């Protein structure tokens, strides 16, 4: 009874579909949008109008309106075929032609700029159509242990461990929940999620997602972004059905980090969150900044809420501002009002500029310099439950 199948089986959100202490060392993370790829092209284009304007004969006392136009517009009209002859009086002698070297420079610069823009788009995976994001503030690897409780009274039923790693191109992450204490004595329960995928201009792009749970068949999802659909599986290798997906959609686990990586505006963000059983439309909104009194200390956080459009589940995620926008508290409320609350009791993350996990000596050095917060360092505190 304590392990309500709908609630406890969701360290993230199942079956939902869609996400201070001042004394410890602080990781200052800035999750800012990258500059537009085209803006990054630094090829100076020589302005051909200037030489032409410098050699233009002195205008008549009452020049035609076209003479006051911007130099670029003048040249555009001069190059355009079929322009009306009254753009300038016939008696006015034509301006001298621009020097050959100026014309050559202009002709060479335009294709160069176009080629560089194309190369920049290819390097960013066609990011010209996407407002790219930076993952510089997302720690390369780390882990979070959560104390899991149920109900308004905060009855502790288990512990969850979340791990992640990425190398700027691919990511992998997992979470495993197990009953502890008196609940663990009377009933052993294990629940695990795993997500793998790519890191790109739009943040995380899941490739596979899987769920394993005590006494139930495993479930999984396989994302086919080129086809715009996800295949949902129940049991070993059986494909039950497919569902449509769009860029930006997430699985239950990747959502935890995606919100912190790309940020969330004040407006409602619509997306689909995928579990191993279904893909459900959801809405993500920012509740606001909050100071959370957690077992690892008081932290400045940003509270974000994700809610299933069908009203079955609601999840609130608190992201730590000074620790890579990592999720340090996750609270789920189901359609019956039952509560599952997870609060961080240990936080370990790689320092800024660290190597990917397991990268030889560099990875070992990073492991020795991991930034850590532990519940033992701060007295436990139960924050008030919000709406």
| Other residues' Cβ atoms within 10 Å of the Cβ of residue 202 | 19
Q: Three-state DSSP class for 360? A: helix
Contacts of 331 (CB under 8 A, 6+ apart): 315, 316, 339, 340, 341, 342, 385
The pLDDT score that the predictor gives to residue 265 is 64
The pLDDT score that the predictor gives to residue 135 is 80
pLDDT at 333 over 70: yes
Q: How far is CA 4 from the centre of its chain?
A: 31
pLDDT digits (tens, 9 = 90+) for 277-326: 899 999 999 999 999 999 999 999 999 999 999 999 999 999 999 999 99
Give the pLDDT band (50/70/90) at residue 237: low
Q: Minimum mean pLDDT among 109-118, 120-129, 224-233, 372-381: which range?
A: 120-129
Task: State mean pLDDT over 57-71.
Answer: 43
**Distance separating alpha carbons of residues 260 and 327, to the nearest angstrom:** 8
Model's pTM, two decimal places?
A: 0.65
pLDDT at 125 over 70: no
pLDDT digits (tens, 9 = 90+) for 139-173: 999 999 999 999 988 899 999 999 999 999 999 99
Share of the chain above pLDDT 70, in %: 57
Residue from 112, 115, 132, 104 nearest 37 by CA: 132
Give the pLDDT band (50/70/90) at residue 276: confident
Q: Where are the alpha helices (DSSP H) in 86-186?
A: 100-123, 181-186
DSSP labels, 272-326: EEE-SS-EEEEEEEEEEEEEEEETTEEEEEEEEEEEETTSSEEEEEEEETTBTTE
What are residue 285's DSSP bridge partners?
A: 305
Mean pLDDT rounded to a whole number for the chain: 72
Q: Minimum mean pLDDT among 82-96, 187-201, 350-364, 369-383: which range?
A: 82-96
Task: Determine the length of the chain.
Answer: 387
Q: Three-state DSSP class for 23? A: coil
Give the pLDDT band (50/70/90) at residue 263: confident
Share of the chain above pLDDT 90, in %: 44
Q: Highest mean pLDDT range out of 32-36, 106-110, 336-340, 367-371?
A: 336-340
């Amino acid at each position: 009874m304590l392990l309500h199948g709908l609630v406890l089986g969701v360290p993230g959100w199942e079956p939902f579909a869609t996400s201070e202490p001042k004394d410890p060392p602080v990781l200052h993370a800035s999750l800012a949008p990258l500059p537009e790829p085209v803006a990054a092209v630094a090829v100076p284009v020589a302005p051909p109008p200037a030489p032409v304007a410098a050699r233009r004969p002195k205008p008549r006392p009452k020049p035609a309106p076209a003479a006051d136009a911007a130099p670029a517009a003048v040249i555009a009209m001069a190059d355009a075929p079929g322009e009306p002859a009254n753009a300038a009086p016939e008696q006015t002698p034509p301006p001298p032609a621009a020097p050959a070297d100026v014309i050559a420079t202009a002709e060479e610069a335009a294709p160069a700029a176009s080629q560089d823009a194309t190369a920049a788009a290819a390097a960013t995976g066609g990011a010209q159509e996407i407002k790219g994001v930076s993952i510089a503030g997302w720690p390369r690897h780390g882990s979070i242990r959560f104390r899991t409780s149920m109900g308004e009274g905060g009855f502790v039923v288990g512990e969850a461990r979340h791990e992640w790693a990425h190398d700027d191109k691919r990511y992998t992450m997992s979470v495993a929940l197990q009953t502890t204490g008196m609940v663990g004595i009377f009933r052993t329960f294990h629940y695990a999620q795993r997500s793998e995928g790519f890191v790109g201009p739009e943040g995380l792009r899941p490739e596979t997602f899987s769920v394993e749970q005590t006494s139930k068949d495993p479930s999984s999802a396989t994302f086919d972004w080129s086809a715009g659909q996800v295949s949902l599986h129940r049991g070993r290798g059986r494909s039950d059905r497919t569902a449509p997906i769009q860029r930006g959609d997430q699985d239950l686990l990747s959502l935890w980090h995606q919100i912190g990586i790309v940020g969330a505006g004040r407006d409602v963000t619509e997306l689909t969150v995928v579990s191993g059983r279904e893909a459900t439309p959801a809405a993500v909104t920012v509740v606001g900044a909050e100071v959370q009194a957690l077992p690892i200390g008081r932290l400045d956080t940003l509270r974000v809420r994700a809610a299933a459009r069908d009203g079955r589940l609601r999840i609130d995620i608190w992201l730590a501002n000074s620790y890579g926008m990592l999720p340090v508290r996750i609270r789920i409320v189901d359609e019956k009002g039952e509560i599952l609350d997870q609060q961080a009791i240990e936080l370990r993350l790689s320092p800024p500029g660290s190597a990917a996990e397991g990268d030889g000596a560099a990875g070992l050095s990073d492991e020795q310099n991991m930034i850590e917060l532990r519940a033992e360092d701060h007295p436990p505190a139960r924050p008030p439950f919000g709406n």
